[in-house]
Structure 1
Amino acid sequence: MKDLECAFVFNCDYNGLSVIQSLGRRGIPVYALDAKRGIGTRSRYARYLNVPDPLVDERGFVDKLKELGTKAGGRPVLFPTNDHWAESVARNREELEDMFDLVVADRAVVELFLDKERFGRWAMEQDLAVPRVWSRSELEDPSTALPFPLAIKANARRKPGQGEEGRQWARAADALRFRTCGDREELVELLAEAARVGVPVFGQEIVRGRSSAMHSIGVYASDGDVEGLVYGWKVRGFPPGFGDCVTGFSAPPPEWAIDMAKEACGRARYTGLAEFDVMIDQESGARKLIEINPRSWGWIGVSLPAGVDLPWLAYQGIQSKEPVGEVALGCADGETVYYAKMLADLQNTLLWYRFSDARDWVLSPRQWWATFRGKRGVFAEFAKDDPAIAVFALVQAAKQFAGRARRVLKGQRF
């Protein structure tokens, strides 16, 4: 393998933080690139560099990358950690790959996976178990038989290069992240709302269950071959119905998870880090592949205690361009490990779930601690070797508390 090149990680929320810590602890020089000071930019293992947000200024972002790459020398390794940053790198691959090694798939694959309606149709063609999807024109056709209740989703929530209106568009798309309609009348109202804000939407069959029914398969693959795999599931998310993982467990992967990842990555000739979101229907038990995120994911930090450090595996694989051989599977020792945003999970279980449809997730401090007692794992905000993260996280938690308190006082629910 080559000498250790530096790594550029962007953007730098908890996802980026996990990648930064993984690489930095191995002595790799890491630069945290972002348009704002997220929690990952506070890590002792990275130097923060401000770059334009490709959502607003994609050309400026690419030019800044090239400038920083020239100053760094060698071939820095690029780790985009959310959708529109990954898409921007993929869209500009030809311009960037002479200077960088890219932990991201080809443009066609990235754009396919990020367009949720197109992905659903592609997956059905590949005989992958996914929820059925309907285009907007099909939804508007009164003759289309639809299984109400139905989910309405934005085709994509972030698109690079949209100029100053990009953030406003993204907020509108976030509002249409996951909405349900129980009949034709509600469907018409939702479609009209989407049209007013200019967000393309589609319909998707509902898979019944809260965020705790979501299982994740995290992989590093090279040219369609899975080289590392970590499997887990959300224990609690926020908002509880469909929110991002706040606490999750990883365990030895079942055969169905290994087979699904190998099949999908092989058919897409996928290279890079990815996360498969699989929902298990709480009534039928059917497993449905909801989406594949062509990047690292929010709780990739679980891969380290699971024994397959995916960011490090990706760094090695992208540089060497050589297969690692047998697939490395997480939790090979049979133990279950955890990843948790401790401060957020404490707030949610002690208080905020009381103002949601997940009141059964309300816990006492003793019950909350029982989630983790006797297991190894990661509390995202608290690492002995990276103490500044805890300080920043405490400030964030206070702001989050104030914001949610205002919502509750207004009579809103989560």
Structure 2
Amino acid sequence: MEVEKEKYRLEAWVFNCDYNGLSVIQALGRRGVEVRALDAKRGVGTHSRFSKYGAIPDPMVDEPGFVEALWRYREGLETNPVLIPTNDHWAESVARHQEELSRGFECCVADYETVSLLLDKERFGRWGHDAGLPVPRVWSVEEARQEPELPLPIAVKANARRQVGQGASWARAADGLRFRVCETRTGMEQVLTEADTAGIPVFLQEVVKGRSDSMHTIGLYARDGEILGLVYGKKLRGFPPGFGDCIVGIASPVPDWALKLAEKACRQLRYTGIAELEVMQDAETEIRFLIEINPRSWSWVGVSGAAGVDLPWLAYRNLAFGEAPEETQLGCRDGESVYYTKLLADLQNSLLWYRFSDARDWVLSPGQWWKTYSGRRGVFAEFARDDPKVAVMATIQAAKQFAGRARRVLKGERF
């Protein structure tokens, strides 16, 4: 789609430039928007031909330095860049300083109170219950210990996996407590002791049974609680298979229940920005639970353009120029589904790594694997004809990942 480059002259600055950020960079860069890829490390998106890389402190380590660097990059510009964070703690920092930053930037993020609510997973669970949303039950550590009829198994979860000012070692420890299912109270106490020793705040959550393929994604862009665009999809395969990030996702026509749930949540929050609602359908009861709302774009936001509602582009035009569709734009209106895949990762997982997990039924032959994509529309995250350097960097990254996982398997570890 060709646009008037003079009209869309405001820069877009994307933070955290792994595949999530790459999708945003490509969506805007292909339309003539000048994009800066700002990150503390050279993620795959910083190598895109559609971006100009700029080093910037990670706000999890140095938030004041992060804000100072934004203003330094801003010097000499006549127009306000659009800031688009694609990771929790980057979104949190932009939201925290939004009043100051709004004097020189357009911020694609909700207000700080909303972002902090959504990132505090225990508080979000309580808020969701009070708001009448279908969230799993939550308990504080004290409540769980005092509850005589605590349902088992029970999940112990870190309240936040990234927290500004805590540093990388804290984040790694929190990642280890991302989702730990405890079958007994004794096991629960062992995990709680581990969390206490590491200084990681945790809570307990009702277990929704199922693997990552039970997860539904509702991705949207909203302004003041009104949804302007929405894409619905479902994970086909994730890694690790139990709760991991999306490796293959399928976007489909939006069901009524997904639209109604998103509208209710956005109205309650008066939400502004890109967001992802993660909904998990219990494998036994088939009841759908709203697990969390992420206040930023999600790992496979790149499917939105193929689905007919390019959310980064919609957000950019709305924030920069006030443009908005007359009615909510819904993905896959033509009735056809589209896929998004990290092709190299899916190839490795399906042919090999799922053999060393609890998802051996996901192991495929090469022919079975290719049928996932044959004859369908979709997006290969690593491979785009107009962005070849990304493919080179992704192949190097995949080789390193292969070596790392091979070492783990040789040690007898499972995924």
Question: Which band: TM-score by shorter chain?
Answer: over 0.9
Q: Distance in 2 between matches of 1:300 and 1:277?
A: 13
CA 1:364–1:96 in 2, change beyond 3 Å: closer, same or farther?
same
Determine the structure 1 residue equivalent to 2:150: 146
Q: Distance in 1 between matches of 2:138 and 2:21?
A: 31
Contact 1:216 1:233 in 2 (8 A): yes
Contact 1:59 1:161 in 2 (8 A): no
How far does residue 161 in structure 1 lie from its aligned partner after superposition? Answer: 2.6
Q: Distance in 2 between matches of 1:185 and 1:229?
A: 43
Q: Distance in 2 between matches of 1:168 and 1:161?
A: 11
| Alignment size in residue pairs | 410
How far does residue 45 in structure 1 lie from its aligned partner after superposition? Answer: 0.2
SS at match of 1:44: coil
| 1:156-197 Cα distance to aligned partner (Å, 9 max, x none) | 0111133xxx11110110000000111111111111110000
Contact 2:8 2:33 in 1 (8 A): no
Contact 1:148 1:183 in 2 (8 A): yes
The letter of the residue matching 1:134 is W
Q: Distance in 2 between matches of 1:68 and 1:336?
A: 40
Pick which of 68-77 and 237-246 moved more: 68-77
SS at match of 2:217: strand
User: Which structure 2 residues correspond to residues 139-218 of structure 1 after superposition, within 5 A?
Assistant: 139-141=144-146, 143-162=147-166, 166-218=167-219
The letter of the residue matching 1:315 is Y
Q: Distance in 2 between matches of 1:103 and 1:276?
A: 17
SS at match of 1:19: helix
CA 1:73–1:348 in 2, change beyond 3 Å: closer, same or farther?
same
User: Which structure 2 residues correspond to residues 35-184 of structure 1 after superposition, within 5 A?
Assistant: 35-141=40-146, 143-162=147-166, 166-184=167-185
SS at match of 1:37: coil
SS at match of 1:56: helix
| 1:290-326 Cα distance to aligned partner (Å, 9 max, x none) | 0000000000000011000000000011123454320
User: Which structure 2 residues correspond to residues 229-308 of structure 1 after superposition, within 5 A?
Assistant: 229-308=230-309
Determine the structure 1 residue equivalent to 2:224: 223
How far does residue 3 in structure 1 lie from its aligned partner after superposition? Answer: 4.3
Contact 1:80 1:86 in 2 (8 A): yes
Q: Distance in 2 between matches of 1:70 and 1:120?
A: 42
Q: Distance in 2 between matches of 1:356 and 1:3?
A: 47
Contact 2:25 2:50 in 1 (8 A): yes
Pick which of 187-196 and 66-75 moved more: 66-75
SS at match of 1:385: coil
User: Which structure 2 residues correspond to residues 322-341 of structure 1 after superposition, within 5 A?
Assistant: 323-341=324-342
SS at match of 1:265: helix
How far does residue 53 in structure 1 lie from its aligned partner after superposition? Answer: 0.3
6, 9, 34: which is aligned to 2:11? 6
Determine the structure 2 residue equivalent to 1:346: 347
Give TM-score, length-normalised by structure 2: 0.97
Unaligned 5+ segments in structure 2 are none
Q: Distance in 1 between matches of 2:363 and 2:76?
A: 51
Q: Distance in 2 between matches of 1:3 and 1:401?
A: 41
How far does residue 140 in structure 1 lie from its aligned partner after superposition? Answer: 2.5
SS at match of 1:71: coil
Q: Distance in 2 between matches of 1:115 and 1:53?
A: 20
| 1:351-376 Cα distance to aligned partner (Å, 9 max, x none) | 00000000000001110110111110
The letter of the residue matching 2:181 is T
Moved over 6 A (4+): none
Contact 1:222 1:323 in 2 (8 A): no
Q: Distance in 2 between matches of 1:211 and 1:130?
A: 17
Contact 1:317 1:324 in 2 (8 A): no
Q: Distance in 2 between matches of 1:293 and 1:128?
A: 15
Contact 1:138 1:144 in 2 (8 A): no
SS at match of 1:72: coil
The letter of the residue matching 1:69 is R
Determine the structure 2 residue equivalent to 1:356: 357
Contact 2:234 2:250 in 1 (8 A): yes
How far does residue 98 in structure 1 lie from its aligned partner after superposition? Answer: 0.3
Q: Distance in 2 between matches of 1:303 and 1:39?
A: 19
Percent identity reads: 63
Determine the structure 1 residue equivalent to 2:372: 371
Contact 2:222 2:228 in 1 (8 A): yes
Pick which of 325-334 and 70-79 moved more: 70-79
Q: Distance in 2 between matches of 1:385 and 1:3?
A: 21
SS at match of 1:382: coil
Contact 2:8 2:32 in 1 (8 A): no
Determine the structure 2 residue equivalent to 1:317: 318
| 1:80-114 Cα distance to aligned partner (Å, 9 max, x none) | 00000000000011110000000000000000000
The letter of the residue matching 2:172 is R
Q: Distance in 1 between matches of 2:51 and 2:324?
A: 28
Q: Distance in 2 between matches of 1:144 and 1:70?
A: 60
Give TM-score, length-normalised by structure 1: 0.98
Contact 2:17 2:37 in 1 (8 A): yes
